[in-house]
A and B are shown apart, each in its own frame.
Chain A
C-alpha cells in the first residue's frame, strides 16, 4: 500500500484507511481488560521504551565508546534514563513472577527472602517447610514429574528412593499469605488427608484471600476435599486434570465454587455425562476443559503405588467402568445455556454427537471449540454454531461437506484445525482456504489432498500461520513459494528439511518454476 511512487493513503486519509482495515482487513478492537488488570496487579509499568530503541543505543555505544560504555548503558538504572516506564503487554497467565526451580534443601535455603515464585520438584515435607521463610511468595508449584504421565505418553522412572510430599505438608503449603497460584502435580500422597488434616486444609484455604488459581493435577483428592475448595473465596482457575480421587459428590460440590472462570477436568476418567452437565450452571465459567475422558488416557504412576494409592485408583476404575463416561448430550445441552462460556474442549470424547453439538450452538458466547477426535462426523452441526466462533479443531472422518459448511457459516473463524481428516479433498481445502477471516490453518497429515491444493494455499493471502507437516506431497519448492507469495505468513511448519528450503530460497527466480 505504501510502496513505489504512490502517495501513502494513510497520510492522505487516515480515517478511511483505518476503517477499511477494520471492515475488510479483519482487524478488530482488542479486549484489553485482562491485560490491564494483570498489569495493575503486578504493580504497574516497568518497561523502558521499545527494545528496538534500546538496542540502537547499545549498538551506538559499541561503535563510539567501546565495551566499557556498553556495560555502563546496560547497567544504568531504568529510572535514570528519563523515560516514562511502561510494562510490556502481558496476559494474566504471564503476569506473574518468574519461577525459580529448586530440587534440594540447599537450593531452597539459598533463595533470597524476596523470592516471589518457586517451582519445587521432588521435594519432601521438610523442604516445603524450609520454603516458609519466603513471606513474599506469590506462586508455588510442587511437582513429582514421574507421576505426571498418562495414556501412551512416555513414562518416567521414579527415583530409587523417592521422598514424596505428604498431606502433612499442607499447613506449610497454605501458610504463604500472598499466594496467588498454588499448583500441585503428581504429588499423589499429598492428596490423601485424614479428617483433621482436611479441617486444617479448609481453614488454610480460607486464610488465603489472594489465591486465584489452584491445581491438583495427577493426584487423587477425595470428594470431601473437593467439597471444601469453595472456601477459597477468590478462586478463578481450578485444574483437577487427571485427578481420579473424586466422583459424583465431588463433582457436584464444584458448583459451590461460584467464582470459577476456568475449570479443567481433563482426563478425569471417572466422571459421567450426567455428572458433568450441572457444571454448566457455574455463573462465571468462561473456559471448560473436558477433554481426554475416554477410558484410555489413565494416569501412570511412576513410583510403586502404596496400598492406599492403589485402592483409590481401583475405585476410580470401577466408577469409570460404565457407559457414558465423559461429556455427552446432557452436558452439551446444558452448556448451550452457559451464560459466559467462551472456550470448550471436549476432544477425544466418545459420546459427543452432532445432535449434542447442535444444542451447544445455543451458547452464543462460545468462541473456541475443540472437538478433535470426536467420532460423529456429520457436518450439520456447523450451521448451529455461533457465527462468531473464532477457533475450531476437528480431525478424522470429516468430508468436503464439512469444509463447505464451515466456509458458509463461520464467517469469523480465524483458526481451523482439520489435521488427519483423510476424507477431505482438494475441493474441501479450497473452500476453507478461501475464507477471508482465516488466519491459522492446521492441515497436518491430510492424506486425501494432492499437490493441486498448493494453488489454493497460494491464493490464501490472508493466512498468517500454516501447518503442513506430514503432507507428503509438499516439497521445498512449495514451501519456498508459499513463504514468498503469502504476504502475511509469519509461521509455516513443514516436514521438509530446513536446508532444502533454504537452498530453494537461494535459487534465482526463473529456475524456480
Chain B
C-alpha cells in the first residue's frame, strides 16, 4: 500500500529549503484538510479552519527552527487535529450536539483508516475499486458526486424511482467500502 506520510497538495511547490514554516505547512496541510472534510466541514470553511489551525500551531511554537524535527510531528498532528475540531465545532451553533457526536465517530474512523498516511492509501484503493464498477454504477456515482444531481433527477436519468436511487446508492457505497477494505488487507 502506498503511503504518503508528509503529503502536500499535488501541484503545490515544495517548501524552500531552510524555511521551517513552509516545511511545517507542507507536511500537514493535506492531512489536516482531509481530517476536517471527514468531520463534515466543507468547501471554503474547511480551508479557512485548516489555515486557522496551522497559524495557531505555528504561533505556539510548532514547526519553528528549534522544534522542527519530524520526530515532533506526532505532537503537532495531535494539536492540529484537536484545534481544527474545536474550531469546527465552535461554528456548529445550530446543532452542536449532533456535530459533536458525528465528530467523535469521524475521528475514530480517521484514526483507524486514514491517520497513518493522510488518506493516500484509502484513495488509492478507492481508485482501483471505482475502475472495477459497471458503467451504470459508475454513472450513478459520477452524476451524484461530480454533477450534484439529486435523487429525482438521477432517477429520471436512470429510469428508476427515487426510492430505487436511494437503494442503489446505499448498495454502491456498501460495495465500495467492502472493496476498499478488501484491497487494504495486508
Contact = CB atoms under 8 A, between A and B. Distances in A.
A321 interface: no
Given A14-B40, A86-B87, A89-B47, A29 B142 contact: no
B11 A14 contact: no
Interface stretch (A5-13, A215-223, A290-298): A5-13
Contacts of B150: 1, 3, 487
A461 B39 CA distance: 26
Interface string B40-74: 10001001101110111011000000000000000
A37 B52 CA distance: 11
Interface string A24-48: 1111111111011101100011000
A110 B129 CA distance: 67
A49 B90 contact: yes
A103 interface: no
Interface stretch (A15-23, A117-125, A377-385, A402-410): A15-23
Given A1-B144, A20-B141, A30 B29 contact: yes
A15 B148 contact: no
Nearest to B93: A53
Interface in A230-279: none
A309 interface: no
Contacts of A365: 11, 13
A40 B29 contact: no
> Considering residues A29, A462, A487, which has the most beta carbons from chain B within 10 angstroms of its beta carbon?
A29
A22 B109 contact: no
B77 interface: no
Contact of B52 (A21, A29, A45): A45
Dominant SS among interface residues on chain A:
loop
B145 A21 contact: yes
Residue among A3, A36, A53, A89 having the largest count of chain B Cβ atoms under 10 Å: A36
B78 to A, nearest CB: 18
B50 A24 contact: no
B102 A32 contact: no
A21 B177 contact: no
Contact of B145 (A13, A24, A84): A24
Contacts of B113: 15
A462 B147 contact: yes
Contacts of B122: 15, 19
Is the interface on chain B under 10, 10 to 19, 20 to 34, or 35 or more residues? 35 or more
B10 interface: yes
A445 to B, nearest CB: 27
B158 interface: no
A32 B47 contact: yes
A212 B90 CA distance: 36
A9 B173 contact: yes
Nearest to A340: B13
A102 to B, nearest CB: 32
Contact of A36 (B21, B44, B151, B162): B21
B123 A23 contact: yes
Given A14-B109, A21-B37, A33-B29, A367 B58 contact: no
Contact of A32 (B29, B37, B148): B29
A322 interface: no
B147 to A, nearest CB: 4
B9 A28 contact: yes
Nearest to A88: B48
B54 A36 contact: yes
A448 B176 CA distance: 44
Contacts of A209: none
B29 A488 contact: no
A436 interface: yes
Interface in A487-512: 487-488
Contact of B126 (A4, A23, A87, A340): A23
Contacts of B141: 20, 24
A25 to B, nearest CB: 4
A487 B39 CA distance: 23
B177 A16 contact: yes
Interface string A341-381: 00000000000000000000000010100000000000000
B114 A15 contact: yes
A136 interface: no
Given A9-B173, A44-B59, A53 B54 contact: no
Interface string A445-478: 0000000000000000110000000000000000
A461 B147 contact: yes
Contact of A487 (B12, B56, B126, B148): B148
A50 interface: yes
Interface string B1-44: 00000011111110100000110011001100110011110001
Contacts of B143: 461
Nearest to B46: A30
A11 B173 contact: no
B51 A35 contact: yes
Interface in B95-147: 102, 105-106, 109-110, 113-114, 119, 122-123, 126-127, 130, 141-147
Most buried by A among B37, B109, B162: B37
7 contacts: A33-B26, A33-B29, A49-B90, A56-B93, A286-B13, A436-B147, A462-B147
Given A14-B102, A33-B25, 16 more contacts: A10-B40, A12-B173, A14-B38, A14-B105, A18-B37, A29-B8, A31-B11, A32-B47, A32-B50, A36-B58, A49-B90, A87-B52, A89-B47, A89-B51, A367-B11, A436-B146
Query: Which 10 pairs across A and B sit closest by C-beta, in order of nearness?
Result: A461-B147, A24-B145, A29-B30, A31-B12, A487-B148, A14-B106, A18-B37, A25-B145, A89-B48, A32-B29
Interface of A: 1, 3-4, 6, 9-16, 18-33, 35-37, 39-40, 44-45, 49-50, 52-53, 56, 83-84, 86-89, 286, 340, 365, 367, 388, 436, 461-462, 487-488
